[in-house]
Structure 1
Amino acid sequence: MIQSIDRAARVLELLQGARHLGITELAARLELSPSTVHGIVKSLHEHGFVAKERGGQRYMLGPTLLRLSNVYLDTLDVRARALRWTQELSRRTGMAVRLGAAHFSDVLVIHHVLRPDDSPQMLETGMAIPAHASAMGKVLLAHDLGFQRTVFAEPLRSLTGDTVTDPARLALELPGIADLGAASELDEAVIGESSLAAPIGDARGDIVAALAVVFPSSQAPTPDPVLQALRETARNISRELGATIWPPHVAPADD
């Protein structure tokens, strides 16, 4: 690992989630000298990876990351194939729709369709959700043993009082999720919000993403037609990616 790149990446990680931090705060969290951190931040600033607060001394993520993230999203075949299907799923169910892919121990939302109503909503594309606390994450865990090993390698943090943080308990759910081709969560990531998710596979039969409908917990359990529409949409997207089987098979962990 190249030390300077590793340190720069850690600075960017600390600034995620709309955090604004100064040099002293960054240095303390990185356990590095302020002068070293200042040099790293100065280089990142010159390339637009971080930006400085107007009239302040704290830093935040910069516009270059937005441009690169948009380029990354545009290269994802699963996202391109899913666009019209996710829009139709939202229309059929009246719910918000997320498309997510594994990212370290999280699920990265790579596409988000807002609820088809006039209620205030925030676009969630680019948001990361801990895999163990989301329906999309459970689907990915059930179909990818390598991802499962990565997630279970670290302690599972609690987001709400309903978050499952015991890997053994969560692992017991996964075979059933793989057989059904669907997973659910109730208030596990955000109080008052729940979701159902289904897997999306590719031509090799591997899972590449998870598709979810998101709804207020007060509406749980969802009626059977919602689950049917979700599974049907996930299957159709998988077919467009060349899948000949659905749900995808369970991928073994790489040695």
Structure 2
Amino acid sequence: MPPKGSNSVTKTFEMLALLGENPDGISAAQAAETTGYPFSTAYRLLGGLVESGYASFDARTKIYTLGMEVFRLAQKVAHRRGLAGATKDLLEDLTATTGESSILAIRRGNSALTVLTVDGPQFRTTTDPGDESPLHTSAIGQALLAHDPDADATIKALDLEARTPYSITDPGQMRRKLAQIRETGWAGQSEENDIGMNALAVPVFDLDGSLLASLALAAPVFRRSLDELVALVPQLTETAAAVAARFPR
């Protein structure tokens, strides 16, 4: 949690951030304990967020979660910045051509932040706009991490926690995989992030070589093997170049 603020506006935003850090929800008592505020203060702040639509309250479980107003504003920001609106048709074309779900993500701290997804005709992605994925287990994250100039330091800072039995948790093995990604130009993972899912991602570079984002295709393992996704790298890299040309400067 960020340092506690001294005014009600700051406290409200801190409470909103706390809800964002707890996607499964939190009770008023838990919020008070985490922030150090009196229960009455936490209850009042959460109540104000519910009234404004920035939080939702389940009377049965007594749990508060982020409200739809947050999603609405996030969508407006994304479209204003061009991270979603300017590239959605490109991902739609990619999905239509390949038949698989497509994902656009950017780096946010030590996570990959999903900006835009287009579901395939039969199966949806396992991530939604606004979700954060681990850099070391997800294809979109590995594509970003591989081109981090301070990748070694980042790996040391990461908690290489296993999400599945196939996740890479050894720093040396992760470094070897990142070197392979840089050599091949793509990052592939088979059930490292989600059981039953394969994904393949490529980096999105600016004209000056700066890393902007990563672009991925995802498919259930029974639908496409990782090798079959690799065969789609040409379409993926072509779309990545088109996305880079539209990226906000």
- Both proteins in one fold, TM over 0.5: yes
Cα RMSD, aligned residues only: 2.9
Question: Aligned pair 1:15/2:22, yes or no?
Answer: yes
CA distance in 2, matches of 1:221, 1:239: 28
> Does the 8 Å contact 2:188/2:226 carry over to 1?
no
Cα 1:91–1:10, aligned 2, differ >3 Å: closer, same or farther?
A: closer
Per mean C-alpha deviation after superposition, the further-off stretch among 149-158 and 203-212 is 149-158
Question: Aligned pair 1:215/2:219, yes or no?
Answer: yes
TM superposition shift of 1:185: 0.5
Post-superposition Cα deviations, 1:159-189, rounded to whole Å, max 9, x if no partner, equal 1001112233212222331232211011011
Counterpart residue number, 2:242: 236
TM superposition shift of 1:42: 3.5
> Does the 8 Å contact 1:105/1:147 carry over to 2?
no
Counterpart pick for 1:92 among 93, 97, 100: 97
Cα 1:233–1:122, aligned 2, differ >3 Å: closer, same or farther?
A: same
> Does the 8 Å contact 1:78/1:209 carry over to 2?
no
TM superposition shift of 1:147: 7.1
Name the TM-score, length of structure 1 as normaliser: 0.80
CA distance in 2, matches of 1:147, 1:71: 32
> Does the 8 Å contact 2:200/2:226 carry over to 1?
no
CA distance in 2, matches of 1:222, 1:166: 24
Per mean C-alpha deviation after superposition, the further-off stretch among 108-117 and 189-198 is 108-117
Cα 1:126–1:148, aligned 2, differ >3 Å: closer, same or farther?
A: farther
Cα 1:142–1:14, aligned 2, differ >3 Å: closer, same or farther?
A: closer
Give runs of aligned pairs for residues 1-12 of structure 1, distance below 5 A. 3-4=4-5, 5=10, 7-12=14-19
Cα 1:190–1:153, aligned 2, differ >3 Å: closer, same or farther?
A: same
> Does the 8 Å contact 2:4/2:35 carry over to 1?
no
Question: Aligned pair 1:169/2:170, yes or no?
Answer: no
Per mean C-alpha deviation after superposition, the further-off stretch among 65-74 and 165-174 is 165-174
Aligned length: 240
Report the secondary structure of 1:110's partner residue: strand
CA distance in 1, matches of 2:247, 2:160: 32
Name the TM-score, length of structure 2 as normaliser: 0.82
5+ long unaligned stretches in structure 2: none
> For residue 42 of structure 2, what is the amino acid of its counterpart?
V
Post-superposition Cα deviations, 1:118-160, rounded to whole Å, max 9, x if no partner, equal x577772222211111111011011123577456413222110
